[in-house]
């Protein structure tokens, strides 16, 4: 696994903290998943007692915190939210979300590049939620990002990897850049497929939080991520059109 802004993570699972049935289930899901990173929206952190209690619970998880700019639609809104998040959470890491399309929650890649450049110049470590477009990825890297987070499918859809070709192309185009499949993961098989492609991590939330048993699903996702990473490292066989016998024919007896 490639380091994220110089930080080595123990595994490739990044898990969101929204939509869980209860704080206790959230904590149990994180324990079972062993997730290395928790994503947190600034909107979950209020100034009152409930907000402070939530933040203390997240700190007690003992994982890396990745605040996000969820719900932002303009550069100014995203940059302002990032500054507030850095002050509240005490980290330069920021997941930069800048939504351009209401129904699909597709990122506005034009504003995304602009905001990424501003934040990178202000010493943020930007994790941009982007599309799987190679040109946009190149522009984000030139803007100062050292990580790319292409979507697998629309946020919360559970559709999995909607465009495997584009994701494989992105992995090939940026071989030294940490890549994270962010959004769209619905099943452990989706997470395993992303890791088998050579992605460094997957980021998911709804698939665990909205499962009938979030704790069990968190455990399943953890094992899928591990299996996918091990499979990629093992250099799997290439698919072929024709059959190939697994039992050698040399030495086979021929009967007339």
Are the C-beta atoms of residues 15 and 29 closer than 8 Å to each other? yes
- What gap in Å lies between CA 181 and CA 184, rounded to an integer? 8
Residue 216: how many CB atoms within 10 A of its CB? 14
Known catalytic residue at 219:
no
Q: Which of 76, 95, 117, 210 is catalytic?
A: 95
Phi first, then psi: what are they for 162, rounded to 5°? -70, -30
Q: Which tokens is 84 given?
A: 């507030």
- Tell me the C-alpha distance between 5 and 123, whole Å: 12
Sign of the CA dihedral running 55, 59, 60, 66: positive
Q: Which two tokens stand for residue 237?
A: 């066989």
Number of other residues whose CB lies within 10 A of the CB of residue 207: 25
Q: How many C-alpha atoms does 197 have within 13 Å on its Cβ side?
A: 27
Within the chain, where are the H helices? Answer: 23-33, 49-60, 75-89, 109-121, 134-142, 164-173, 188-196, 206-209, 214-233
Residue 71 has φ and ψ, to the nearest 5°, of 90, 0
Residues labelled catalytic: 95
């Amino acid at each position: 696994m490639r380091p994220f802004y110089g930080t080595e993570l123990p595994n490739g699972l990044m898990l969101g903290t929204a939509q869980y049935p209860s704080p206790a289930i959230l904590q149990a899901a994180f324990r079972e998943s062993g997730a290395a990173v928790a994503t947190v929206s600034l909107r979950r952190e209020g100034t009152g007692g409930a907000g402070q209690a939530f933040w203390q619970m997240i700190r007690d998880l003992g994982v890396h915190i990745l605040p996000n700019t969820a719900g932002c639609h303009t550069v100014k809104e995203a940059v302002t939210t990032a500054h507030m998040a850095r002050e509240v959470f005490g980290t330069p890491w920021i997941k930069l979300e800048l939504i351009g399309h209401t129904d699909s929650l597709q990122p506005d890649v034009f504003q995304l590049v602009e905001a990424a450049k501003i934040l990178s110049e202000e010493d943020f470590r930007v994790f941009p939620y982007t599309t799987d477009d190679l040109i946009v990825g190149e522009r984000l890297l030139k803007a100062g990002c050292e990580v790319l987070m292409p979507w697998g499918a629309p946020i919360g859809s559970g559709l999995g990897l909607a465009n495997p070709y584009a994701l494989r192309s992105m992995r090939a185009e940026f071989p030294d850049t940490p890549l994270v499949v962010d959004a769209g993961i619905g099943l452990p098989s989706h997470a395993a497929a992303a890791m088998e492609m050579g992605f460094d991590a997957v980021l998911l939330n709804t698939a665990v939080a909205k499962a009938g048993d979030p704790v069990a699903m968190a455990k399943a996702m953890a094992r899928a991520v591990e299996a996918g990473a091990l499979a990629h490292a093992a250099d799997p066989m290439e698919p072929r059109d024709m059959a190939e016998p697994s039992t050698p024919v040399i030495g086979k007896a021929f009967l007339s």
